[in-house]
Structure 1
């Protein structure tokens, strides 16, 4: 549980309002948290935000435009460029929040959000970044993901995308597909580890307002997304958290990106795409907090309860 209550705030991005949770902190450090595709701020950040706050840090967790509580139309339509702009706007907004020192802002992203972080911090004024199981190169991961789909769905999906694109031109409502589904389903992902979505992000079924859907046209754009192309330009420290058996975004592109980023650090954990939210959660959290302590000296705040939990068995990460 968080030590201090969070409060709802809003900031502007592209002329529209983004809804966010602000968790006040005491260390001066603020972690701006970006979620995965069509994942809203509560399921996508709650498992980490309260613990970051318990360690003394402020947190800003937000919804992208067109998703969750944020404004934007049409709904459930993903634009990677708009989402990177939203993350950049969130970083700028965080610098003016109470108790936040503008030279102690950290960008954190998971899955697609991890890819967005790699783009946003090339220009955004951040002290450090954390890319957790990041989507680094869809031209590598998308073909691998398609191997877990049936041929019939692979052949049908482009027609669904085309119909959704044409519908968008005509002003019609988006044609939505589930974020995940079993093999043979028409969904964004049918990889085996994508089936852990609910268990990882909403095990108690508390997030009834979270729409687990995405516009079909968005999947085409995601299949072409390569946010890791220019990691050699990154100048801030970046912690890459990679799940070795990741089938949804693959480990190999992230490992190569970590090797090309000038000030990168790497943490590898066993498991699939959602391992940092499941069996590897405490190990990843401990590694991320340790990274922040080293990169921003003086920002750590001792929390005996959290320290005891994270020093227990099963928290070691390579």
Structure 2
């Protein structure tokens, strides 16, 4: 068995590839190693993976559909885990075309490559996002909620990915599953996310920026709680033409100020706070209804935020020391 993983040097991709290798699965990874955040972190993840048997790597742009198709036809994977994308809500305000290139053209490249595999491809699993729900007052967010008012271009591209995947399932019989991730965090995480930005500021003696006066809630989900159900889903073989979408989240939203308090405790230092208004494209809360995932794949949250942030803090101190 060979699994193709896009975004292999990314946060979720790195952990997913490690878990697949632990299962004895051969993995071909794709990543463009762009500079959206510190490439040294991506290179460090990649070096860890390349030291493991069963892993090979190709650096390429997902939007290069001819290169993606050539690789897929050479490798003939039986499963594709598509995690490569331009991430970040706020970055999409300044760099909109990066999202069209990666999240739209790149996703279409993967769908086209999957189509050419035909019956040889057992399952295409791809990353969507909780951002598709936009700003809404009704909680928790359910997969069958109407999601036609995304609050950012990033969210709009992820919603478009779901629609394109559904179309390819209908037209060509591609078995595909989309995963709406809710604020994934943990060791080897993303430096553009709040818990990492806050940690950097606190270690460097800078104030942290708290948007919307701290009146925000997020459904934080520890990375291990993402990977376990992701692998069960990927290992499934849905019938041809089947397309499904699942929430993967903690189902227990945490107030932003409570997260900051937990992070202060984990790092052993207090944060100076600057209260700022809401940023464009952001939403006040996310809250996953995971009953569908629990029913179909036995999902459960096992790592609480305090414990998860403590694990991140231990890794983060070590990372800073290595970088220094």
Q: TM-score, normalised by structure 1?
A: 0.36
Q: TM-score, normalised by structure 2?
A: 0.35
